[in-house]
A and B are shown apart, each in its own frame.
Chain A
């Protein structure tokens, strides 16, 4: 064999060995990738996927923890029951009414606070920022306890303040009308996180746009309408989606205020309270799981509608990023 031929064979052999080593390294990388992913994957499988599948299976059974050894397949009975259940109608109505009242405020108030903090001439911005944000870090149990005292018609500060104007304050927590504003106050009080996101959005609007608009003779309102709102519309959309999902999940405040009774007059019987009571008070896991899946479907529909509407009012400076 010639020297050239020997050299060629040697090179080919080295290339092959190199290729094998390269593939091996690639496989190793992939495998190590799976190893590092595995805690999350295992957690997702055990704590999310399996319960999800299990809860769907429960919807087809009469599983009740009071007689847990006696589980029967009942087909779509739970879904039929759900359609006839007056508590479902009441709790859905309560949830949607509260959403209609609260959702606009859950966007407007934090946005207004953010606009205030973004104002050029505001003194002590850091102090205000801290004050507005601080309630967000207060645990919800403490917050509800504080508001319970604050809204008490006999000894609460709010009614005492109102009484200085010669008006008798309402019984905030025992009136079917005033309970919603009362819960809204608690929600808005803790909206520091939304405010911070809006503030970041406002500070991200390029100042040259305002300068150019000023040169073109645009007034302050026009600048807000034509520049600020479109530029922060993705942030508004983001907060809107989060608030809406949060309101579908609304549970802790009415539960702690009224111990899940739905008082006064079922006005705090939110859908999740009904779900919780069905599953964990009455132990009816089969029907409780059905209620949970129904809520999931409703939330999906509402979110989908919101995403669909976004194309008409959410502006992405870099094009369609949905």
Chain B
């Protein structure tokens, strides 16, 4: 009995120890193969259909290119809410760090700024042709001091979404769909013109528009314009690309065009009432936080990914309005990156080029992104046309790729998380506080940002 007991105890202890030993994902599956790990979780890629698509890509790679070149691709799926912590920890262990990370946008990759491999030498060594992508999209991934830290894969241009029914009801012509084309009245398609139309398209419960002296701002039932799931830096980019940091990389500053934008935004919300405040945005009138999809907003500036959530709205696309004659259309772009901690960067690059090459259409179909490669776009747009049968001019989205924001509104800042949170608080303040001294708040923001930047100098 005693021997049996000892044996049982040993077995239990061994089982527990075995269960607690972390599974090393860098395990070499076959002795003659190099293992490349692909970490998914920082951005999209977590829902069931996407997981299935990614697993199919991994299987296909391992059976074809992997088998030929001696590479075993392993997928590491991590829930988005713990992905940052998990990746941070894996990077800290160094030998456990994954090779490829993605899909991830600019913003998602900022937390790991400085950890990405410059792919220029890898591309040169492999003879990889960067000319297959539009140069502006390749340059989008060139970061000063870091090199080419990504290759174009999925892009999400932004432009103006407008609700045809609300324009029709107001008897107003639709906004233009070609860059350089003026509005129907012959005037420039600018943010001033957007304000002018938005006032006419904002209605109270009695049917008065926002230009009427009888307009009741406490009982608005339709808005002319709304920001759609946007942050303060992205919105300000409508008035020109810039950032809250000077060229020296250490000084916080408020670009004048951005200051002008925040004044415009505040005025539109609290004085002219054609932009909903936070209370309206979160109300049932505006689908509890998804304003344009409610059908009660005439115009929203947002990205192509918003096609996810516009079901039931008879919308079309209009070009991005200009500010002082300059058009800036914020760009979101997802791609895959290679970590500097990768043990096998050449093999990782081989896998990466497969993901953005042979597998790109399958993956982009799952992620919902527009292919960066122009010749791949037809199939993607055909899919959109099947969904949106009202007829949408997708050429507007393609043309908007010519006006990306540089620097990106998602670009890195010193002490990024803290700075980003402080900027978010500023945005909430604008959207939820009447009688605000907006200039004083901008000065406070810059002062706070400087203190946040200084923490990491």
Residues of chain A touching chain B, judged by Cβ–Cβ distance below 8 Å, are 28, 31-32, 35, 38, 42, 46, 65-66, 68-69, 148-149, 152-156, 168, 171, 173-174, 261-264, 277, 280-283
Interface digits, B74-94 against A, CB 8 Å rule (1 contact, 0 not)?
000000000011001101101
Asked if B417 is at the interface of the complex by the 8 Å CB criterion, the answer is yes
The total of interchain contacts (Cβ-Cβ below 8 angstroms) comes to 76
Residue contact A28 to B1, C-beta cutoff 8 Å: yes
CA distance A35 to B284 in the complex (A): 57
In contact, A69 and B94 (Cβ under 8 angstroms): yes
Beyond the given A156-B283, A283-B88, please list 14 additional residue pairs across the A-B interface where CB-CB is below 8 A. A35-B8, A65-B88, A65-B92, A66-B111, A69-B94, A148-B288, A152-B279, A154-B279, A168-B218, A171-B279, A174-B279, A261-B421, A283-B111, A283-B417
Chain A proximity mask over B410-424: 1 for CB below 8 Å, otherwise 0 = 000000011001001
Contact of A280 among B2, B9, B85, B278 (CB under 8 A): B85
Measured as residues with beta carbon below 8 angstroms from the partner, the interface class of chain B is: 20 to 34
A28–B5 contact, CB under 8 A?
Answer: yes
- B428 & A281 in contact (Cβ 8 Å cutoff): no
Q: How far apart are the CA atoms of A205 and B371 in the complex, in Å? A: 73
Interface mask (B1-31 → A, CB under 8 Å = 1, otherwise 0) = 1100100110010001000100000000000
Q: Which of B9, B89, B417, B432 contacts A281 (CB 8 A)?
A: B417
A261 touching B425 by the CB < 8 A rule? yes
Q: Are B89's CB and A65's CB within 8 A?
A: yes
Within 8 A of A (CB), among B413-457: 417-418, 421, 424-425, 428-429, 432-433
Residues of chain B contacted by A28 (CB below 8 angstroms) = 1-2, 5
Q: Report how far A263 CA is from B422 CA in the complex, Å.
A: 11
Q: In the bound complex, what is the Cα–Cα distance between A66 and B91 (angstroms)?
A: 9
A38 to B218, CA, bound (A): 64
Interface residue? B282 (CB, 8 A): yes
A38 to chain B, nearest CB (A): 7
Q: Does B365 contact A (CB under 8 A)?
A: no
Q: Nearest Cβ in chain B — how far from A275, in angstroms?
A: 15
B285 located at the interface, meaning its Cβ lies under 8 Å from any Cβ of chain A in the complex: yes
Which residues of chain A come closer than 8 Å to B280, judged between CB atoms?
154
Q: How far is the CA of A261 from the CA of B218 in the complex (A)?
A: 26
Which A residue's beta carbon lies closest to that of B279?
A153
Q: Measured between C-beta atoms, what is the minimum distance from B197 to chain A in Å? A: 23
On chain B, the residues within 8 Å of A263 by CB distance are: 425, 428-429, 432
Residues of chain B contacted by A261 (CB below 8 angstroms): 421, 424-425, 428
